[in-house]
Structure formats: structure tokens, C-alpha cells
Amino acid sequence: MFDKKAHASLKGKKLHPESLMMSYGYRPDWSEGAIKCPIFQTSTFVFKSAEEGKAFFELAYGLREKEPREEMGLIYSRLNNPDLEILEDRLTLWDEAEAAAVFESGMAAISTVLLHFLNPGDVVLHSEPLYGGSEYFITKVLPKFGIHPVGFVAGSGRKEIQRIIDQREAGKNLKVIFIETPANPTNALVDMRMCREFADRHSTAERRVLVAVDNTFLGPVWQHPLKHGADLVLYSATKYIGGHSDLIAGVCLGSEELINPVKAFRTFLGNMAGPWTGWLMMRSLETLKLRMTCQMKNARYVADFLSDHPKVERIYYLGHLREGDPQYEIYRRQCVSPGAMITFDIVGGEEQAFRFLNSLKLIKLAVSLGSTESLAEHPATMTHSDIPAEEQAKMGISEKMVRLSIGVENPEDLVLDIGQALDAV
């Protein structure tokens, strides 16, 4: 048994997550002294005795409560695997969550959580725009199960959201509030505290309304939704957590009470991450803070350059929010830093945006984000192209918009590339 609590502090002081990412949850004597957790590329695990096998299954199927100090043993890699368990323990540290569940993709995490917590007749209130996959799942797939989606535009105030809830008579059956903040690609913020208030207002003794936050854009380093009233935090770990554009994975975090049943449901959907993905993510977590700090600094440098440029009409960057703007108040309350996602409107339209994108040399033209390399894309015709133009306009997406995900390159080289591509327009 491994005493995680003791491992996470020194002389009574709690250690920071970045100090623990190399060792937390793993003991070298489990693996011939190997300093790194090996890849446990195995489908099944040998029981020491039939009695042990029986005990593990009793716990796995919830047939009885755990004895004091009893731990769930390893059974089969769809239920548990050391690479996943150690990774999940490490992931809880950034968000200060009780429990984590890792999935084979961000969409697997999101769809599993929504399917688990929503029942026919329930309402899911969600911000807009959402990541395309989440938008499709919520507005096209969930209705097949009798679940009703109700959307509001990110950045809307309390009154407007309450008006939508009332108009759609959504309050009584509200079960989950699902938000993405900052929104993609506009960086509009949704006030998590306000969402908690809506959730509490519509909760009853038997029916607690849950707030779920897709924290892919700023987390897990720059935003901690559980501290602002969220019940569940979701990630596409494909982005900053993986961070090298070489894996697809997802995470859900929250209390043990909420996450344990999600993990049980995951066992039946069979969409947990495999040991290799788990191992790669542990490798990635060691440099997470380092990467995100570098990316955040680079992004500020790039955003400052863009804000003075004559070919840039408008910039959507959290670091440029000004006092007096209601979005600034939300930013101050719930974000730790502006992160590394920058969107801007180029002077002109699609033609100018495409000329810019086609002229980039160092920055790659690709969707996805959060990786070590900088990426650029055109939301209106790429990531958000399935949203009708009229809806795009309501969400603040236009054809002159370009989205940048800033990486760890030298910031002067990034500005050199962006500058020459703007000159080519």
C-alpha cells in the first residue's frame, strides 16, 4: 500500500503538483527499482489465490463495502491498470479533486459523463459555442434518448439566461449545466459562480443539478473549476495535458461520489484509455507546468504584437480584458492566467484570412491546440463549419476570424512568422 497523503507533503507542508508529477502514486520497488513507472502492457492480472480473486470482484461489483485499509486489487485492464490508476492519482492533484477517470478521448469523457448523469426527460443547459463534437453530441445525439438541450451564448448575463430557462420551461427538469469557458474560438467567459447559483436554484432534495465544466482551454494549470462551484471537470487531454500532438485522451474529475459511478459506467462502455496512452500522459504531466507557462508568456508577446498591427481589426485574448468590462471581473475571479489561445479578426474576410494562413511558415495550419508547436486555423470553415452562418454570427464567429494556439517556440520567431504572413495579405 502506498500512503499518498504522506507522499504529497514535506515537513507538514503540501507539495505543489509540479513537484509530484515525477513520483506521486508510484513506488520503484514495485518494478525492479525502475525510476519511471513501466508500461503495464497487459490485459489481465494473476490473483495470488481464489480467495483474493473473490475479494477483488466483491469490491469491483460493489457487493460489499471496503474493509478499513483494504484496497481494490488489479483484475483486468478494462477495470483497472497501474498506468491508469497512477495517472488518475496524479491528475487529481492539479484540480484538487478527490477522484479522476481517464478515457480514450475527450469525447469519450464528455459523452460518458452526460449519458451517465442524464435520463429521459431531463434538460441539459449548455453554453454556446461548444467544441463541435460536444455540440453535436448534446444537440443531435442526446435528444434521441429524450434529453432536451437548451443553449445560451457564452458571455450572456444572468437575466438573459434566466429568460431562456423560463421561456423553454427548462427549470423543473434541469439536471446538468454544461459549459465551456473560455469559449472556443471567441474566448468569451462563462461565470461559473453564476452557473452554480442557477444549479442550486433548480435543485431539489432528491435531484441535485450538476455543473460540468470543459476546462480544456485553461486547465489544469490556469483554471480550477471545482473551486468555483463546479461538480465535474472535463478535459480533452489530447490538448494541453498530452501537449505533444501525439495522443488522444480525455479526463473527468470530481468527488468520489460522482466519479466512482462514472468509472463503473466506463467499464461497461469500455472506453478507458489503454496503458500506452496512460504512460504517455504521465510523461507529459512532468512538463505540464513548464509548457503551459512558456506558452502563456509566448502568447502575451504574440497578442501584444497583434494588437498594434494595422491588418488586425480585433483581438480576442483574455490578457487584454480591461477593468470595467464585466468579462474582466469574471476573469479575475476564476482564471489564474490568460493561457495561450488567441483569436483575431483580420482586416478583410475569408480571402485575407486564407492568404494569412497559407503564408505561415513556422506555425502549422491544423486544428487542435495546446501542443508544443503553434497551430493556426480558420474556425468559420474548419472547426465550426457545421454551424450555420446565422448561428455562427450569433456566437460571434465570422469569416475574418483566425484562431492561434501558441506553442513553446521562441516568441520572436513566432512574431517574425506572423508578421511576414500578415505582410503577404
Ligand X SMILES: *Cc1c(COP(=O)(O)O)cnc(C)c1O
Contacts with ligand X by CB under 6 A lie at 105-107, 131, 133-134, 180, 184, 214, 216, 236, 238-239, 248, 250
Q: How far apart are CA 101 and CA 250, in angstroms?
A: 8
Rounded-to-5 percentages of helix, strand, coil across the chain: 40, 15, 45
Residue 108 Cβ vs ligand X, minimum distance, rounded to whole Å: 7
Q: How far apart are CA 197 and CA 211, in angstroms?
A: 10
Q: Looking at beta carbons only, is 106 or 229 nearer to ligand X? A: 106
Extended beta strands in 181-249, E state: 210-214, 232-236
Contact 386, 257 (CB under 8 A): no
Q: Please enumerate in sequence order all residues whose Cβ is within 8 A of that of 76, keeping only pairs 6 or more positions apart, or say none.
A: 43, 44, 45
* Beta strand 232-236 pairing with 312-316: unpaired
Cα–Cα distances in angstroms (integers) from residue 376 to residues 102, 139, 389, 396, in the given order:
28, 27, 21, 18
Which class for 269: exposed (0-12), middle (13-18), buried (19 or more C-beta within 10 A)?
Answer: middle
Q: Looking at beta carbons only, is 83 or 180 nearer to ligand X? A: 180
Q: How far apart are CA 107 and CA 147, in angstroms?
A: 18
Chain-centre distance of CA 326, in angstroms? Answer: 24
Residue 75 Cβ vs ligand X, minimum distance, rounded to whole Å: 27
Cα–Cα distances in angstroms (integers) from residue 319 to residues 132, 292, 295, 322, in the given order:
25, 15, 13, 9
Residue 135 Cβ vs ligand X, minimum distance, rounded to whole Å: 10
Q: Looking at beta carbons only, is 77 or 238 nearer to ligand X? A: 238
Residue 281 identity (one-letter amino acid): M
Q: Looking at beta carbons only, is 107 or 142 nearer to ligand X? A: 107
Q: Looking at beta carbons only, is 57 or 136 nearer to ligand X? A: 136
Q: Looking at beta carbons only, is 170 or 249 nearer to ligand X? A: 249
Residue 131 Cβ vs ligand X, minimum distance, rounded to whole Å: 3
Residue 322 Cβ vs ligand X, minimum distance, rounded to whole Å: 26
Residue 171 Cβ vs ligand X, minimum distance, rounded to whole Å: 27
Q: How far apart are CA 57 and CA 73, in angstroms?
A: 9
User: What is the grid cell recorded at 334?
Assistant: 476564476
Residue 210 Cβ vs ligand X, minimum distance, rounded to whole Å: 18
Q: Looking at beta carbons only, is 138 or 194 nearer to ligand X? A: 138
Residue nearest to ligand X (CB): 106
Cα–Cα distances in angstroms (integers) from residue 160 to residues 152, 155, 157, 164, 202, in the given order:
8, 10, 6, 6, 16
User: What is the grid cell recorded at 71?
Assistant: 484496497
Residue 182 Cβ vs ligand X, minimum distance, rounded to whole Å: 10
User: What is the grid cell recorded at 159?
Assistant: 437575466
Q: Looking at beta carbons only, is 88 or 214 nearer to ligand X? A: 214
Residue 407 Cβ vs ligand X, minimum distance, rounded to whole Å: 16
Q: Looking at beta carbons only, is 277 or 298 nearer to ligand X? A: 277
Q: How far apart are CA 8 and CA 246, in angstroms?
A: 29
Q: Looking at beta carbons only, is 20 or 221 nearer to ligand X? A: 221
Residue 243 Cβ vs ligand X, minimum distance, rounded to whole Å: 13
User: What is the grid cell recorded at 48?
Assistant: 495470488
Contact 97, 220 (CB under 8 A): no
Residue 184 Cβ vs ligand X, minimum distance, rounded to whole Å: 6
User: What is the grid cell recorded at 286?
Assistant: 512532468
Q: Looking at beta carbons only, is 302 or 341 nearer to ligand X? A: 341
* Beta strand 148-153 pairing with 174-180: unpaired
